[in-house]
């Protein structure tokens, strides 16, 4: 029999989310289980487990500072020679964002596996324990940052939440990871806004972000990254104020290309100075832009990162 001290060690970082949630007296689910509580629900495994308590939040309320705190905790565990891999328990609403930040800051080393649940711990359909057990097993294999969720294993790059009521919640917008150095500097103090666009949109919200002091703006545009002439004019104003503007899309999958004209097409946005995000959707585009700006990237470097 293998001595317990010789078993591999996996650090399990708890941040809250549905996997840690139960209904309170009002019937509202909220995170109230610790990481150790969740580990205690598992059957015996041939691995040592270290619970690391960081946050107990719904991921919809996570700030960039919170995401940076999670990434820093991952880095601390990866630096421990005894740790073979890390599992991050996280809410699904922002899983794609935090996992990308960790990928950008710690993506070249030991395995880091994100997981969570679609159904709370006291729900008859609770999927948390199964996801957690699968994530722990995967944390002993390979390298880099991945998601294990609903019997799927997916990379962090291009990840998005596709459904809200099934256990296989996540998909990829597309494939391919561009070559990139790690971007280690913290993103905590940045303001990067996402502006949702719609047919006939004006530039009110884009201008409001610019005036409010956003250091970068991501457009959730239509189709392959299209909008209206009014928004194109607003982009030009932001660029004149040295605020980078990234064009993503509300369409969940497929590559974007600045093809269309007509005054508000992607071609017009590019001419106004915006940069199209070929693959990343708005949430992940925001994280990549934040990491690039925190590390002092110039316009050319930003454009290459999103190409």
Q: Determine whether 18 is an active site residue.
A: yes
- pLDDT digit of tens for each residue in the chain (307 aa)? 556 678 999 999 999 999 999 988 898 889 999 999 999 999 999 999 999 999 999 999 999 999 999 999 999 999 999 999 999 999 999 999 999 999 999 999 999 999 999 999 999 999 999 999 999 999 999 999 999 999 999 999 999 999 999 999 999 999 877 767 889 999 999 999 999 999 999 999 999 999 999 999 999 999 999 999 999 999 999 999 999 999 999 999 999 999 999 999 999 999 999 999 999 999 999 999 999 999 999 999 999 999 9
Q: Give the dihedral sign, CA 206/210/213/217.
A: positive
| CATH fold label, 192-306 | Rossmann fold (3.40.50)
The ranges of the chain annotated as CATH 3.40.50.1170 are 4-172
Helix (H), strand (E) at residue 244: none
Class of domain 4-172: alpha beta
Alpha carbons 166 and 86: distance in angstroms, whole number: 25
The ranges of the chain annotated as CATH 3.40.50.40 are 192-306
87-99 per-residue burial string, b: 16 or more CB within 10 A, e: under 16? bbbbbbbbbbbbb
- Contact 34/21 with Cβ under 8 angstroms? no
Give the per-residue pLDDT at 179: 64
- Contact 251/206 with Cβ under 8 angstroms? no
Residue in the structure block whose two tokens are 């596709």 = 162
Give the per-residue pLDDT at 171: 97
Identify the active-site residue in 18, 115, 138, 228.
Answer: 18
């Amino acid at each position: 029999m293998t001595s317990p001290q010789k078993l591999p060690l996996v650090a399990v970082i708890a941040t809250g989310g549905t996997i840690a949630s139960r209904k309170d007296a009002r019937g509202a689910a909220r995170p109230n289980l610790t990481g150790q509580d969740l580990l205690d629900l598992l059957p015996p495994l041939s691995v040592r487990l270290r619970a690391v308590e960081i946050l107990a939040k719904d991921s919809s309320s996570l700030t960039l500072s919170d995401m940076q705190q999670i990434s820093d905790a991952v880095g601390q565990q990866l630096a421990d020679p005894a740790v073979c891999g890390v599992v991050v328990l996280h809410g699904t609403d922002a899983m794609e964002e935090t996992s990308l930040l960790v990928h950008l800051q710690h993506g070249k080393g030991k395995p880091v596996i994100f997981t969570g649940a679609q159904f709370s711990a006291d729900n008859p359909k609770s999927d948390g324990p199964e996801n957690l057990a699968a994530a722990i097993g995967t944390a002993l294999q390979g390298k880099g940052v991945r998601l294990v969720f609903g019997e799927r294993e997916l990379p962090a790059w291009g990840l998005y939440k596709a459904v809200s009521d099934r256990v296989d919640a996540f998909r990829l917008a597309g494939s391919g990871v561009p070559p990139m150095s790690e971007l280690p500097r913290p993103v905590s103090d940045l303001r990067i806004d996402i502006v949702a666009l719609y047919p006939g949109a004006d530039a009110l919200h884009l201008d409001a972000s610019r005036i409010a002091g956003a250091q970068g703006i991501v457009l959730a545009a239509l189709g392959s990254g299209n909008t209206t002439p009014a928004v194109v004019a607003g982009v030009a104003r932001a660029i004149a104020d040295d605020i980078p503007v990234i064009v993503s899309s509300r369409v969940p999958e497929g590559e974007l290309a600045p093809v269309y004209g007509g005054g508000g097409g992607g071609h017009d946005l590019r001419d106004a100075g915006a940069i199209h995000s070929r693959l990343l959707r708005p949430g992940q585009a925001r994280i990549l832009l934040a990491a690039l700006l925190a590390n002092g990237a110039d316009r050319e470097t930003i454009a290459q990162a999103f190409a």
